Amino acid sequence: KGTTKIVTTDANGKFSITVPGNTTVLVVSYIGFITREVSVGTSNQISISLKPVSNTMDEVTIIGYGTQSKKDNTGAVTSFDAEKQLKDIPNNSAEQALVGRLAGVQIGASEGSLDADYRIVIRGGGSITQDNSPLYIIDGIQVEDGLKSLSPQDIERIDVLKDASSTAIYGSRGANGVVLITTKSGKAGTTTVSYNGIFGINKLNSTLPVMTPYEFVVYQWERTRIEGATNQASFSGIYKVNTFADIDRFYNVNPVNWQEEVMGNDAQMLTNNVSINGGKGDRTSSSYKAAL
């Protein structure tokens, strides 16, 4: 509580987290259950149980041509309350904020670079050679760039339609699934101006293992013996050696990590979000909200 440190449980509900002291308070939450605050104390293991929310009036999901009860479309539709679940989680992009939070939806970087775009695939995709991107609908309007143009702070709710019946109204364009995005609207009250700023640093998680200068020279020496070539003909530049004993000279040669030179710079990310909200009614009357 009071920090941005967050962990998720595994399939059995188990989790592990490092806390600064025995006065730390854990905030435990899950969709459909009442959030609990638990003091850690001096114990290394704690058991936490949550009580389900008794109010079921809002147990419906919006689909392309109306609403359905959640009990009638289990597995076909995945819903995510972004306004509540992303409120205290810093994220620079909406795609990054949704990683691992939508059942049946795979979200990952399209390549290994730090500034790579994220790809969203629903139920594994249906083609090896064609684009498997879903159809994106933001407030009833079809868009091509998906979530790239949206800040996580502007999203109120996301519904992912995954089966044929729920995506039928969108025709063939919805064959790869449909992502329905509802943005936040104006709320009645005095005019308020809010600012949200996030700064972060991305670093490559892993690099390719490479040989040291000494290992590289030994490799060339062994290759020379296998191929039957002469030492002088097979070695070039600083790697020329006359006898096996000369290889020891390369123990202290400083290597050049080209992966670090080319891709090792940390990527800095900065996101600024300013919004103005106010009005005297709901979104159909005089309420307003603007975000930048």
Domains of the chain with bracketed CATH: 1-54 (no CATH), 57-184 (2.170.130.10), 213-256 (no CATH)
Q: Among 283, 292, 237, which residue's Cα sits nearest to residue 139?
A: 283
What pLDDT is recorded for position 160?
85
Residue 112: what are its φ and ψ, rounded to 5°?
-85, -10
Looking at the DSSP bridge assignments, the partners of residue 38 are 26
Tokens standing for 83? 């306004």
pLDDT of amino acid 242: 57
User: Which residue do the tokens 């419906």 mark?
Assistant: 60
Q: DSSP string spanning 69-101?
A: EGGGSTTTEEEE-HHHHTTT---SSHHHHHTT-
Bridge partners, 36 (sequence order): 28
Distance CA(96)–CA(80), nearest Å, equals: 14
Coil/strand/helix, residue 33: strand
CA 129 to chain centroid, in Å, comes to 25
Cα 292 to Cα 290: distance, rounded to the nearest angstrom: 7
Largest CA distance in the chain: 88
Distance CA 41, CA 249 (A): 57
Q: Which residues contact 212 (CB under 8 A, 6 or more apart)?
A: 255
pLDDT at 276: 82
pTM: 0.53
Phi-psi region of 13 (alpha: psi -120 to 50; beta: other; left: phi over 0): left
DSSP alpha helices (H): ranges in the chain?
A: 82-85, 94-98, 164-167, 213-227, 231-234, 258-263
CA distance 51 to 49: 7
In the chain, where do the E strands start and end?
Answer: 25-28, 36-39, 60-63, 66-69, 77-80, 105-109, 118-122, 135-138, 141-143, 155-161, 178-183, 189-202, 267-279, 288-291
Per-residue pLDDT of the chain (292 residues; tens, 9 = 90+): 878 788 888 878 888 888 877 778 888 888 778 888 888 877 788 888 888 775 544 455 555 555 555 545 555 777 788 777 777 677 777 777 778 777 778 887 766 666 667 788 887 766 777 778 888 888 888 888 777 778 777 888 888 888 777 777 888 888 888 888 888 877 777 788 888 777 777 777 677 888 888 888 888 777 777 766 555 555 555 455 555 667 777 888 888 888 777 776 677 777 777 878 777 755 444 555 565 5
Q: What is the pLDDT of residue 40?
A: 81
Q: Helices marked H in 99-244 — which ranges?
A: 164-167, 213-227, 231-234
**Two tokens, residue 252:** 């202290």
